[in-house]
Chain A
Amino acid sequence: SQQGEEDPQALSIQEGENATMNCSYKTSINNLQWYRQNSGRGLVHLILIRSNEREKHSGRLRVTLDTSKKSSSLLITASRAADTASYFCATDLVMNRDDKIIFGKGTRLHILP
């Protein structure tokens, strides 16, 4: 079963509006990361939030983490056309002594001009 699941699967908003995407996960994590993917090729890291952090900012990005609800949100403020992309959350699991990172299926964000 999927560890990280983004919600919604797709989102279209007007340029200038704020976009909010959510990620839910099932098991305890060390960290949660958000990535962006353009054109179905390589992903670009946006932000990492550790399990003992509740909120983190980077430019127009704001990420929150609620470990009690096992959920995270990514907020993009004042959206721009260039923000059109797919956004993935990635959680790292503690499995025995080895960690691995599990990606969700992503939210496809489309910014309308």
Chain B
Amino acid sequence: GAGVSQSPSNKVTEKGKDVELRCDPISGHTALYWYRQSLGQGLEFLIYFQGNSAPDKSGLPSDRFSAERTGGSVSTLTIQRTQQEDSAVYLCASSLSAVGYEQYFGPGTRLTVT
């Protein structure tokens, strides 16, 4: 594809349910990032992948959050037992490499936990 895509674009879920968010990076980009953005706030770093490995998971808010990347391409961010404070826009970005390259962002997934 021409850019980073994310699905779904919007997700409404009930508190306690699990959700899976998907990110398709630009082909050939080895680095992939997940961020969370609450209304009117900056980006909160969650996790990044270099290839299939995640050197830095320090941003994941709790053990309810996990992410994986397979084949150096698609990534999924899973939130188990969702809470209302998980409501936010989840943004994915990819770049050629983790160092010194611009990030290309997807349109985000707006998650609402009711």
Residues of A within 8 A of B (CB): 2, 30-31, 33, 35, 40-45, 48, 50, 88, 90, 92, 95, 98-106
Contact = CB atoms under 8 A, between A and B. Distances in A.
B8 to A, nearest CB: 14
Nearest to A48: B102
Interface of B: 4, 33, 35, 37, 39, 41-43, 45, 48, 50, 55-56, 89, 91, 93, 98-100, 102-108
20 contacts: A2-B42, A30-B99, A35-B103, A40-B89, A41-B108, A42-B106, A43-B93, A45-B104, A48-B100, A48-B102, A92-B100, A98-B55, A98-B98, A100-B98, A101-B45, A102-B45, A103-B43, A103-B45, A104-B42, A105-B42
A105 B37 CA distance: 10
B100 A105 contact: no
A33 B108 CA distance: 20
B98 A99 contact: yes
Given A40-B89, A100-B45, A104-B42, A45 B99 contact: no
A31 B105 contact: no
Nearest to A33: B102
